[in-house]
Structure 1
């Protein structure tokens, strides 16, 4: 009788401890309940069910980072602007009237090549030419300036010729930034491209696996991997004046947690990673433990990247510029279409990919605890009964 009471007491204690059994993380239902919690200690969390529209929207957002999506802009054609330095040479055929050398017996000079001092285009867009005064050169190519000078000198000089050369291009350049080395690269009529800027700064000195190239044009900023830029000609677009190219060395990683083959931090290249590839790299789901309905991606979304409607919603919850919105994406792998969604869902730096335990796995864990405790008790009771006999 006493042994029965002891056994019953142990079972009761075990049942009481059921709720405190160690697990690898919250269950699928507990994660889904995050969106319904309104406590002061926990932030409001957006739980998004991944389906066709969500996967397509996230995929399109990533594709929008392509440099080829920049609006077509007129490339630099060699036109002169304020601040540029020009070299002007004028030649007059014999008998030279305006630019001749020593006068001959007829009172005219021989043929002469006259090189004027280098001049910087003034704020008003002009340079000064002898006998012509200030002439406007802003917005004109060197060839157009040459023709303009010859046309205006023709009534005064004998068969004048002019040569105009752009010595220093100060008005049309791009800025190239790299850790330890930054330059201003002047543009030419050749039409420099993004890879020309990367080469001009010395290329990537670190592992190209981690290098991203960021192009800032006006108010638009797009970032792609150096690997993608080098392998896809459509990304190597022509530069325009004022562009800023930055070479970023940012090792990317996500963290794998829960019922997966390996709980660890996983690095990936700047080229990017899909959720399908991420699951493969973390060893897949554990068949005996994982809940295929509970595959989650935990992510902070910058407030600035939300659409207007979502911004208004989160502003009402106290969020604003400079803050990050906690978001959870959930994928149900029991849905056959989810295998397509996995291939379009992009992983971002510092994401947490979590797979919850199946309810049955928790129950089996409970049974193992029960039997590990009661088995020795049962054995002891049998031994006592045998002695009493």
Structure 2
């Protein structure tokens, strides 16, 4: 009985081995081999992809490209930040000599038997708010259109309005609460809020510094500036202190900072299949491969490393087409070329499985099949 049982087990094992040998091409794999990708190009190419070898001729077209013109730099324009606008709270004082309009006659005037007092006396009119139309209302003067005027120009407007009503009037105007010459910072900053523009004109990086900086890594952050009805944005790491993206601010600018990390995906015969953040303003293909350990020494075909990307169509820059760039890491010059290839957001790296791994996997499967049989045989002896 024991022999019959053992013979049945041997027959089952033999059947399983035969099945495994027959299905060698369907062994578990991390993805297609290089030959299978080439076959898909000819027979099952539903997306219309093409394969381009990365060599000395194609590498320059994949190199790091300068940032496109425009962006935040298109918002840069001259402007003033020292003028009065709607919502501002003005503090106004009037200084007079002799017979005054706001404080009455001097107690030492000749009409009262005293001597003339030439000293100036000041009167604070209190605070005045600039209305939505940009006007203020003052006693004896009436309505003044002050929007777009500097405090000095408003002073001269008041003095002209008091001529003939007061003896040598002089006005002093200051902005107590600035609601017009301000900018707004929101999003992933430490201290969001409304800030007053200072002199000289502040720039974009100055405004972020006043708001405490970002709460995340600058390489993952996007800064958006809205001026009026126009918005532009850029990677924060691409805004340099002396560059054109570091624009001078104007009243009413709205600055938003939000987290938008750039990532790439790694699949196939790699020791670390994952989604990886760039973590830098620029990232080369060589650096991207190194971050995940590169091709697996046990599984990969180093001659078949692929970069999947939607590239601009040569005939129409507004459309894209799927392209697979093939890197042969068995060639020494590929290591130089890979340092010049710039990664794009959402790129996919695929490392093909080596065909030579199939016999090794088969041996592993057979080992798993025979281990229980050997264990049973050792027990039944």
Question: With structure 2 as the length reference, what TM-score do the two structures score?
Answer: 0.69
Q: Are the aligned partners of 1:332 and 1:338 in contact in 2 as well (CA < 8 Å)?
A: no
Q: Are the aligned partners of 1:254 and 1:266 in contact in 2 as well (CA < 8 Å)?
A: yes
Q: Are the aligned partners of 1:296 and 1:330 in contact in 2 as well (CA < 8 Å)?
A: yes
Aligned twin of 1:290: 301
Out of 56, 77, 82, which is 2:81 matched to? Answer: 77
Find the aligned partners of 1:175 and 1:354 in 2 and give their Cα distance.
44
Out of 216, 222, 228, which is 2:233 matched to? Answer: 222
Distance 1:126 1:47, change over 3 A: farther
Aligned twin of 2:8: none
C-alpha deviations, 1:332-388, integer Å up to 9, x for none?
A: 34695884465342342x54322223xxx31x234446788999xxxxxxxxxxxxx
C-alpha deviations, 1:276-299, integer Å up to 9, x for none?
A: 211121223346732434422467
Q: Does 1:23 align with 2:29?
A: yes
Deviates more, 1:111-120 or 1:206-215: 206-215
Cα displacement (A) at 1:139: 1.0
Cα displacement (A) at 1:15: 5.4
Aligned twin of 2:62: 55
Cα displacement (A) at 1:95: 1.2
Find the aligned partners of 1:307 and 1:144 in 2 and give their Cα distance.
58
What value does the CA root-mean-square deviation take over the aligned residues? 4.3
Find the aligned partners of 2:37 and 2:124 in 1 and give their Cα distance.
79
SS class of match (2:209):
helix
Distance 1:89 1:67, change over 3 A: farther
Distance 1:374 1:277, change over 3 A: closer
Cα displacement (A) at 1:113: 1.0
The equivalences for 1:39-188 within 5 A come to 44=47, 49=52, 51=58, 55=62, 59-60=65-66, 63-64=67-68, 69-92=73-96, 94-103=97-106, 104-106=109-111, 111-179=120-188, 182-188=192-198
Q: Are the aligned partners of 1:65 and 1:222 in contact in 2 as well (CA < 8 Å)?
A: no
Structure 2 residue runs of 5 or longer lacking an equivalent are 1-13, 368-381
Find the aligned partners of 2:158 and 2:42 in 1 and give their Cα distance.
74
Find the aligned partners of 2:283 and 2:49 in 1 and give their Cα distance.
23
Aligned twin of 1:346: 343
Cα displacement (A) at 1:137: 0.8
SS class of match (1:118):
strand
SS class of match (2:343):
coil
Find the aligned partners of 2:200 and 2:160 in 1 and give their Cα distance.
28
Q: Are the aligned partners of 1:215 and 1:245 in contact in 2 as well (CA < 8 Å)?
A: yes
Q: Are the aligned partners of 1:210 and 1:269 in contact in 2 as well (CA < 8 Å)?
A: yes
Q: Which has the larger radius of gyration?
A: 2
SS class of match (1:145):
helix
Cα displacement (A) at 1:183: 0.8
Out of 320, 327, 330, which is 1:332 matched to? Answer: 327
SS class of match (1:146):
helix
Distance 1:34 1:335, change over 3 A: farther
Aligned twin of 1:365: 357
Cα displacement (A) at 1:207: 5.2
Distance 1:370 1:145, change over 3 A: closer
Q: Are the aligned partners of 1:275 and 1:347 in contact in 2 as well (CA < 8 Å)?
A: no
SS class of match (1:148):
helix
Deviates more, 1:236-245 or 1:79-88: 236-245
Distance 1:214 1:308, change over 3 A: farther
Q: Are the aligned partners of 2:205 and 2:241 in contact in 1 as well (CA < 8 Å)?
A: no
Cα displacement (A) at 1:122: 2.0
Structure 1 residue runs of 5 or longer lacking an equivalent are 1-7, 315-325, 376-389
Q: Are the aligned partners of 1:76 and 1:240 in contact in 2 as well (CA < 8 Å)?
A: yes
Figure out how many residues of one structure are paired with residues of the other and give that number: 336
Which structure features the higher share of helix residues? 1
Aligned twin of 1:3: none
Find the aligned partners of 2:166 and 2:314 in 1 and give their Cα distance.
66
Cα displacement (A) at 1:89: 1.4
